[in-house]
Amino acid sequence: MKALVVYSSKTGNTKKVAEAIHGVFQQGTDLYRVEDAPSPDNYDLIALGFWVDKGLPDAEALRYLNKIKGKHVGLFMTLGAYPDSDHAHQSMQKAEHLLEGNTILGTFICQGKVADSLVRQMAGLSGKSPHAMTPERTARLLEAAKHPDQKDLDNARAAFARIIRQYAGAIHA
């Protein structure tokens, strides 16, 4: 199995998760920032990580995602929302839909710190904006700033260990 872990990270959240995931793959698995990643064509299994931007993978990850054709893929993402929220699940579903024609073996969602520039932007919005700062949003952003934590990284490793086992089962079936 030739595997590749590719990630896009704005605040370092997705990079931390990618490095944790990379640790469960066999020695020799490649790890790249999306900007430096090679073509996915020569890989059997691809772990692709991104941060969520307006409910979709960020622009760099989207460009790479569009290059993946006929592969086995595991997706992981980070976002400021709670990982069990509707927004998180809808964002992952959108990413999965964009990979139609590939085999999605599993996913992992992790809450993570929101970029300071975006927090400042939200703080400056009027109360009429759906993205204005509210007490609930402030609490969520404070919680998001604590992630990814050790438990998140352990959960990411466990999720991708399952994905690797599922891939092994699929190719031996």
What does the pLDDT look like over 45-103, one tens digit per residue? 999 999 999 999 999 999 999 999 999 999 999 999 999 999 999 999 999 999 999 99
Q: What pLDDT, on a 0 to 100 scale, did the predictor assign at position 173?
A: 62
For residue 83, what are the domain limits?
A: 3-112+149-171
Q: How far apart are CA 159 and CA 113, in angstroms?
A: 21
Check pLDDT > 80 for residue 130.
no
Please check whether residues 79 and 21 belong to one and the same domain: yes
CB 38 within 8 A of CB 30: yes
Regarding pTM above 0.85, the answer is: yes
Please check whether residues 93 and 45 belong to one and the same domain: yes
Q: What pLDDT, on a 0 to 100 scale, did the predictor assign at position 119?
A: 76
Q: What is the CATH number of the domain that holds 159?
A: 3.40.50.360
Q: What pLDDT, on a 0 to 100 scale, did the predictor assign at position 96?
A: 98
For range 151-159, the mean pLDDT: 98
Q: What pLDDT, on a 0 to 100 scale, did the predictor assign at position 82?
A: 95
Q: Above pLDDT 90, what percent of the chain?
A: 80
Burial 138-159 (b: 16+ CB within 10 A, else e): eebbeebeebbeeebbebbbeb
Q: What pLDDT, on a 0 to 100 scale, did the predictor assign at position 86?
A: 96
Check pLDDT > 90 for residue 115.
no
Please check whether residues 163 and 137 belong to one and the same domain: no
**Domains: count for the chain:** 2
Mean pLDDT of the chain: 93
Please check whether residues 126 and 55 belong to one and the same domain: no
